[in-house]
Structure 1
Amino acid sequence: MDIAAMTIKALELMWVFGNQTAELIITFRAFDSDARLLEAKIRDEISTGKYMKHLLFDSSSVYDSKTLFDQFDYDVQSQILVFFEQSTGVLHQALQVLTRLFGNRDSDPPKLLASSSDASSFSSASTAFTYEYPKAQQHNSPGLGPSLQVDPIPRKPSPLKRLWWSVYDKRRIESILAEFSDLNARNLRKIQLWCLGAELSVDRGGHLLRLESDPNSKALGFDLDARLQISTIEGVSGPMDSEELEVQESKVLIGDMPAIQDVLGGRYGISQWDGRPVLVEYRNYAPESPVPVMLDDRTREVIDRLAKVLHQPKETIFRMPNCLGWTSQAEQNRAALFFAIPEGSQPSPISLLDIIVSSPTTPSLGSRFTLALRLAGCISQLQLVKWVHESFRSENILFYPRVDVKHENADDRCTPHNIDLTEPWVLGFENSRPDPFFSAGRPDKCPERDVYRHPSRQQTPTQHFNKLHDIYALGVVLLEIGLWQEALSLEKGRFAKVREPLTIKKQLVKNAEKRLGAKMGNRYRDVVVRCLEGRFEVVNDTKEELKLQQAFRETVVDVLERSANNI
């Protein structure tokens, strides 16, 4: 049996085990209202396997009548198989618990056996499972191939079994299903990374267009990120290319409401768009010119692509507001991008930097871990769709006070008690662009910005911007969140005289290593140090930097997620 057949078999077993587990649970619905919820949860989770089977194993002309699974190298195929074997093994535990509860030896679930001879050539990193089925009725697995042998479902549990379920097995099943759900989610994210980030031998544009339009890809949520990634490929047209987001300046009233320069340094403003307040962010394109300069075609293309990416529907994990449109302001040599303000929010954003500097108290551990997770997730998603932020720092992370919160004075807005720190909005798109659009960067010797930059990007940049540079900036922001202290204050002269890039980095790493463990725990400390030092142990990475993206998710995003969930 080849690796594709074994993977399909694992998906079939997941479907069968999940359905039989759900049908056993539903027998308790007459006296346990949670039974229907558990049943629905299982069926919802295993439907992921059905969609995944079609996405990976349906042949397509995009792949020369082969499958998407065929396009991955053997290492990726092996890991996908392991993922589904793990999920199937967890469901097998749930089925064992329930069949023991019903106490019929003839209704034991299929037994998990050792690796078969068919899998003798399979990678030692994986164990290929086969299953032995008892003689029982046929159970259909729609969309997943041939039917498999499973057990008959009892009609009604006895009073003793109902008691045992309530006291013991229900809790165990809930724990197993929570593990299954978590495993499913993590595996789905990894497969999504391979689908969108792996270097395939087929036409990339055609592959992404398939992910954008395929109903199974849509059901898995891969279509949104595929659509965003299409924007980075020149010559490939997607739905966003037909949208016109550049508007005449007369459509909006810049300055109709007071600009919030006192809080955000004049980089943002508040305007009106169709009668509603919107946030305005400015992107300077010729800051060194004393006279007006017309927007050149290349810059116009980058800004328009950025606006279209930010306009597209996105997963919440991006933490980026919806862009309504943009306009060129030639008199100021800048473009203005207009962003929707979240419903139920006051049109007076506050930056994370202002909150850290102004708040008299440190927020709860839970809110800071969740904030850190949301920001790491944002960077991860940007990597996935092949965009770089290039200006990630705490002054560009904004929060909106809720409309139902009243403040006696302006300073009250900055307290963590009046702001939901788990709802950040990432802006600061003055340098954001598709990863393939190389940027050497302009010289900038501002300490307030340099402290967030990788050493090779400070002052006069010596490298093209890459993913590690955004990760470094994330590390600085996570350091600020953990210590609840602005990065500039970590040096007594606010880095005004300390200008050597490696010395700045050394000072940040020293503060992380010495102080973060006591405040946030060793795992958080290690995450921050890893981001600052770029220590991801990646060797022979692909052109798409797939190994770096995977390592970042596993050692940063996943670690923060587990920590946040355990608080």
Structure 2
Amino acid sequence: MADIAIGAIGLGLTAADQAVSVLNFIRDFLVDATHYGDQLPTFRTRITSEIARLQLFSGYLKRATPNGGSQLSALHPVSQSAVLGLLQELEITFAAYTAYVNRHDIVALRQGYARSLEDGIERVGLESRRREVADVPSNLSQKLVWGFFAKKKIVALLKVLEDWNDRSMNLLLCELRFGSGDGGRVVPTASTEAVNATLSTASSFKTLLAERNQPVELTKLMDPAQKLEQPEPSSRVGILTTTLGGATKKRVFCEVKTFELRRRATEPSDEVKRGVQQLVRLLSHPKAREAGFQTLQCIALIRNSKNAYIFAFELPEDLFPDQKPPMTLLQILESRTIDRPSLDDRFAMARSLVKTVAQFHSVDWLHKSIRSENVLFGYRNGRLDYRRPLLVGFEFSRDEKDRSTMERDDRLDRNIYRHPDRQGEPEKRFNALHDIYSLGVVLLELGLWRVAVGFEQEYQSMEAEQIMHSLVEHSQDRLPHYMGEEYTGAVLACLSGSLVSAGGPGLTDAERLELNLALVSNVLEKIRWMDL
């Protein structure tokens, strides 16, 4: 019975490939469909997004597992039956389109459709608007009049496909979280070895966290025998002294997480403690960097005042030898004396940051402070190691399910990285799309090798939406020259919020999964230079 089901699904996957071909055909056919008016770019973008989702689902089922089988064979029997039903639906939906598209040339179809539209214009008496078009067989125009590519027909087809993709992504989400597969490493159909490695790394980070089931005890990280000395109030580097087991001193990178005490309370709330404990659990794993999550390891948590914790991160000797200080991307961009990275280095830097953000999101956490001052660099062979950027600045990070803070901050040098929805007194709950917007601004800075706040002198007087449009314009006008069209497309995908179509103020589980997959397929895959 299972073999028959698998064979049927194999045929269904062929139907999925055919559906992708049809959708590509439709998208190309609509490239100059004037009767869609201003809605044409939106329709083509929606079609592109659904193609990507369909390919991701199909690619997941086709992917080989470590035991030599396919992900298809690793599905739970109930999931197999659901997949079979979904693919049969898809085959029925696209059957007529598949047969039709296979028989016709797109150029002839466009000409025929133009002719049929002109005929319609003449029939309603708008003779003055009629123009000459190429002669095409009358039966072709007749078929087109039947409505295969009419706007109403395409809108209906797109709605059916969006619903189908929603259900397939929900199924994929359930299988990744509760199924019997091999860890849920999803690989797009068109992915390369580098993307396979990326997704495997992200999965291994999730596996590391899953293996560390025991919660981190704050009392151990808050050992009273530890003392922190910061050379100056504004410094983020301090000296951690531990007397337990013999006095030792370590240079550490410090981040301050403040909290509010309830009236007459002397200790933070259980909610605050739980959030700190969960964050420490993520950031204190000794093998996180080996698994590709590029950040520093938290080795101590210090209560430095009545309403603040300090996270102390180790500055490992292999990255920061001879007491060399960490350098932020902001410092490097503003410097006139530090050597610029090569183009290869900038592409590698961008890819590493995207991977790290994708991994952080994969465990349902939000960073909330992605900006150039929170990207650190160590050293290799006495020079800055641009290929291993370290993401820091986790003091506002939280689990995506936790309550979002709405504090006001009007600093332009920070607002420039924030989505307009999160500037001033934010009214919308922070979600992963806001993180990705910030990532897009940093990627733009890497591409132009200039601090974003310096792009325009008028930013201080601009509204948030105007600043966003300015960043988009700088991406469109300047990035292609320096980084190419693919990189530009990746940055615009981050800034536009087009990686997922969210239906509400927050993201559903399915939308979060779809967004992280899109971050890999539509951003990471586009950031390539030569053999990177």
Q: What TM-score does the superposition give when structure 2 sets the normalisation length?
A: 0.61
Aligned residues between the structures: 381
- Cα deviation, residue 436, structure 1: 1.1
- Cα deviation, residue 316, structure 1: 4.0
1:243-392 pair list within 5 angstroms: 243-246=216-219, 247-248=221-222, 250-255=224-229, 258=231, 265-272=234-241, 275=248, 277-286=250-259, 294-312=267-285, 313-314=287-288, 316-331=291-306, 333-346=307-320, 347=323, 348-360=325-337, 361-392=339-370
1:49 aligned partner, one-letter code:
T
Where do 5+ consecutive residues of structure 1 fail to align? Answer: 10-46, 60-65, 79-118, 127-193, 213-218, 231-237, 406-417
Contact 1:399 1:423 survives alignment (8 Å): yes
Give the match for residue 428 of structure 1.
393
- Cα deviation, residue 372, structure 1: 0.7
Q: 1:283 to 1:292 in 2, by over 3 A?
A: farther
Q: 1:54 to 1:460 in 2, by over 3 A?
A: same
User: RCO greater where, 1 or 2, for CA within 8 Å and sep 6 or more?
Assistant: 2
- Is 1:444 paired with 2:409? yes
Contact 1:56 1:69 survives alignment (8 Å): no
Give the match for residue 22 of structure 2.
none
- Is 1:463 paired with 2:479? no
Correspondence for 1:489 among 454, 473, 483: 454
Deviations 1:232-276 (A, max 9, x none): xxxxxx634344254335332211x635x6xxx434534346735
Deviations 1:152-198 (A, max 9, x none): xxxxxxxxxxxxxxxxxxxxxxxxxxxxxxxxxxxxxxxxxx99994
The whole-number CA distance in structure 2 between the counterparts of 1:374 and 1:196 is 28
Q: 1:462 to 1:549 in 2, by over 3 A?
A: same
The whole-number CA distance in structure 2 between the counterparts of 1:292 and 1:67 is 53
Contact 1:397 1:426 survives alignment (8 Å): yes
Give the match for residue 395 of structure 1.
373
Give the match for residue 520 of structure 1.
483
Determine helix, strand or coil for the equivalent of 2:460: coil
1:522-537 pair list within 5 angstroms: 522-536=485-499
- Is 1:557 paired with 2:531? no
- Cα deviation, residue 441, structure 1: 2.7
Deviations 1:471-494 (A, max 9, x none): 10001101111111111111215x
Give the match for residue 20 of structure 2.
none
The whole-number CA distance in structure 1 between the counterparts of 2:412 and 2:208 is 33
Give the match for residue 80 of structure 2.
70
Where do 5+ consecutive residues of structure 2 fail to align? Answer: 12-62, 99-167, 185-198
The whole-number CA distance in structure 2 between the counterparts of 1:390 and 1:71 is 40
2:271 aligned partner, one-letter code:
R
Determine helix, strand or coil for the equivalent of 2:457: coil
Identity between Structure 1 and Structure 2 (%): 26
The whole-number CA distance in structure 1 between the counterparts of 2:349 and 2:208 is 24
Q: 1:469 to 1:281 in 2, by over 3 A?
A: same
The whole-number CA distance in structure 2 between the counterparts of 1:68 and 1:225 is 28
Determine helix, strand or coil for the equivalent of 2:331: helix
- Cα deviation, residue 343, structure 1: 3.8
Give the match for residue 142 of structure 2.
none
Give the match for residue 548 of structure 1.
515
Deviations 1:206-250 (A, max 9, x none): 6599959xxxxxx966764444776xxxxxxx6343442543353
Give the match for residue 480 of structure 1.
445
Q: 1:490 to 1:54 in 2, by over 3 A?
A: closer
Correspondence for 1:501 among 438, 460, 464: 464
The whole-number CA distance in structure 2 between the counterparts of 1:326 and 1:307 is 8
Give the match for residue 184 of structure 1.
none
The whole-number CA distance in structure 1 between the counterparts of 2:172 and 2:482 is 38
Q: What TM-score does the superposition give when structure 1 sets the normalisation length?
A: 0.58
1:531 aligned partner, one-letter code:
C
- Cα deviation, residue 74, structure 1: 5.5
Determine helix, strand or coil for the equivalent of 1:53: coil
